[in-house]
């Protein structure tokens, strides 16, 4: 009879996360380990991942003196791996966990569960609680699993490929009419919640003006479109001034009111050529990034750097950058992050032409298109730099890199790391050594 082994080190016995202990059998209920197919990839992955080391890495996020006992570390980390491997929402992830016994066994349960292990909204709080450092520990666990399987080894981490891409945010395309209308609706909603009596709300008029602007702009009647846009901007400014007057009279105004006024004021005053514009009211940190794509001239989100091993394509760092930095300025930070995760010094990095002027001298940086002074073997090595492009494509089509639904700057950093975790997990499932059958 096979039993899942999950024990906690002695110095963690008083910590907050609850423990999964199925050493005591159930007389009337069979174990999952006796019923499931041991050759199933998830069954085998549950044995490969070093859950004890992951628990040691994540236990610092469970303060012993606060709150009720937390959920098991293996449950939370397992759900995050499965969610980003299969590109699922929080709700669907939890629903699939109840329906799929292999998912339950992978997360450490040896008896079939009939109820949700957590509320789907708890995954949001767990991502915020773990943060960038906690998710890097989960990424490190997938790298350890790759070493255990034999997909990568310590020499694989000495030669890497680095590239950047855009991680778009989940916002609508930012036109002036949409921003004005959204600002108007948000201020009206805030006024209702706080009992502020407006002279006129302009709810129906605002929607009508936005609709007319779209129609006239589509018909290329630009004079009429500009007239409706100007009227929409005017009534948005009226409501903003009323909100300012209320804030000046109300002594105990909340910080939320000041933030809303500041954002709407910036939206109304910004012009086409301005820098640091607001493209979304609920995600003001979103940046406009031009990548020169024929089908998509501009993308709205933030830059994300990816570091993979040169030969195997295994992700060892995935990091979000804000402020739309030059690619060469991000290279040092991502390489340091990769070295700290693998604990192996990088000897060579292969990059594209966007990294020219990087000013890194402690290792060899090979830039695409370089031919002078390189042997034939090195030119072949450099030609493999483009193997990172399909990896990015998989992370966008099969993962969540193509649209980030997590809120704020912390959400950007977490989503970038989680996309790397999901890609590594897919590689592990696809490249597990095949069992030999008689």
Residue-level pLDDT, tens digit, the chain, 438 residues: 343 443 444 444 444 677 776 666 666 788 888 899 999 999 999 999 999 999 999 988 877 666 677 789 999 999 999 999 999 999 999 999 999 999 999 998 988 889 999 999 999 999 999 999 999 999 999 999 999 999 999 999 999 999 999 999 999 999 999 999 999 999 999 999 888 888 998 999 999 999 999 999 999 999 999 999 999 999 999 999 999 998 888 766 678 889 999 999 999 999 988 888 999 999 999 999 987 777 888 999 999 999 999 999 999 999 999 998 988 899 999 999 999 999 999 999 999 988 888 888 888 888 888 777 778 888 888 888 999 999 999 999 999 999 999 999 999 999 999 999 999 999 999 988 765 443
pLDDT at 250: 76
Pairing of strands 298-309, 315-321: antiparallel
121, 90 in Cβ contact below 8 A?
yes
pLDDT at 27: 62
pLDDT at 206: 94
Rounded distance, CA 301 to CA 286, Å?
Answer: 5
210-219: Cβ within 8 A, 24+ apart: 210/177, 210/178, 210/180, 210/181, 213/177, 214/177
> In this structure, what token pair is assigned to residue 303?
């830059």
Give CATH 3.30.420 domain extents, the chain: 153-171+287-417
H-run or E-run covering 165: strand 159-168
Q: What is the pTM of this model?
A: 0.88
pLDDT at 438: 36
pLDDT at 425: 95
Sign of CA dihedral 64, 68, 73, 74: positive
pLDDT at 110: 87
pLDDT at 26: 66
Locus of tokens 């604990």: 343
Rounded distance, CA 281 to CA 262, Å?
Answer: 11
130, 81 in Cβ contact below 8 A?
no
Q: What CATH number labels 153-171+287-417?
A: 3.30.420
Q: Please count the CA atoms within 13 angstroms of the CA of 68 that sit on its side-chain side.
A: 1
> In this structure, what token pair is assigned to residue 58?
């994540």
pLDDT at 12: 41
pLDDT at 436: 46
Rounded distance, CA 247 to CA 253, Å?
Answer: 6
CB atoms within 10 A of CB 438: 2
pLDDT at 390: 93
pLDDT at 13: 42
Locus of tokens 């012009």: 271
């Amino acid at each position: 009879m096979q039993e899942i082994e999950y024990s906690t080190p002695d110095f963690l016995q008083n910590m907050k996360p609850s423990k999964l202990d199925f050493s005591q059998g159930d007389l009337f209920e069979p174990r999952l380990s006796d019923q499931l197919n041991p050759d199933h990839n998830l069954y085998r992955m549950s044995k490969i991942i070093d859950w004890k080391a992951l628990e040691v890495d994540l236990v610092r996020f469970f303060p012993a003196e606060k709150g009720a006992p937390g959920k098991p570390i293996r449950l939370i980390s397992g759900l995050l791996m499965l969610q980003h491997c299969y590109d699922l929402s929080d709700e669907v992830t939890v629903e699939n966990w109840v329906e799929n016994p292999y998912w339950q066994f992978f997360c450490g349960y040896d008896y079939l569960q009939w109820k949700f292990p957590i509320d789907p909204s708890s995954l949001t709080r767990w991502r915020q609680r773990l943060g960038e450092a906690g998710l890097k520990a989960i990424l490190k666990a997938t790298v350890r699993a790759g070493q255990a399987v034999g997909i990568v080894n310590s020499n694989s981490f000495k030669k890497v490929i680095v590239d950047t891409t855009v991680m778009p945010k989940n916002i609508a395309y930012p036109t002036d009419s949409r921003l004005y209308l959204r600002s108007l609706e948000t201020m009206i909603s805030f006024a209702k919640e706080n009992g502020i009596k407006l002279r006129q709300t302009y709810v129906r008029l605002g929607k009508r003006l936005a609709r007319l602007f779209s129609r006239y702009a589509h018909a290329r009647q630009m004079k009429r479109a500009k007239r409706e846009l100007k009227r929409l901007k005017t009534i948005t400014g009226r409501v903003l001034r009323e909100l300012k007057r209320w804030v000046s009279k109300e002594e105990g105004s909340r910080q939320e009111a000041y933030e809303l006024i500041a954002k709407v004021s910036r939206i109304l005053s910004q012009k086409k050529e301005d820098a640091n514009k607001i493209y979304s009211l609920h995600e003001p940190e979103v940046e406009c990034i031009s990548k020169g794509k024929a089908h998509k001239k501009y993308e709205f989100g933030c830059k994300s750097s990816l570091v993979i091993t040169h030969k195997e394509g295994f992700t060892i760092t995935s990091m979000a950058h804000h402020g739309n930095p030059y690619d060469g300025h991000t290279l040092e930070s991502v390489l340091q992050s990769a070295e700290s995760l693998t604990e192996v010094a990088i000897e060579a990095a292969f990059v594209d032409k966007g990294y020219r002027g990087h000013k890194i001298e402690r290792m060899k940086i090979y830039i695409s298109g370089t031919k002078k002074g390189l042997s034939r073997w090195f030119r072949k090595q450099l030609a493999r730099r483009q193997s990172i492009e399909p990896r990015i494509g998989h992370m966008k089509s099969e993962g969540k890199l193509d649209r980030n639904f997590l809120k704020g700057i912390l959400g950007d950093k977490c989503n970038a790391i989680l996309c790397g975790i999901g890609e590594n997990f897919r590689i592990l499932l696809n490249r597990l050594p095949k069992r030999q059958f008689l």
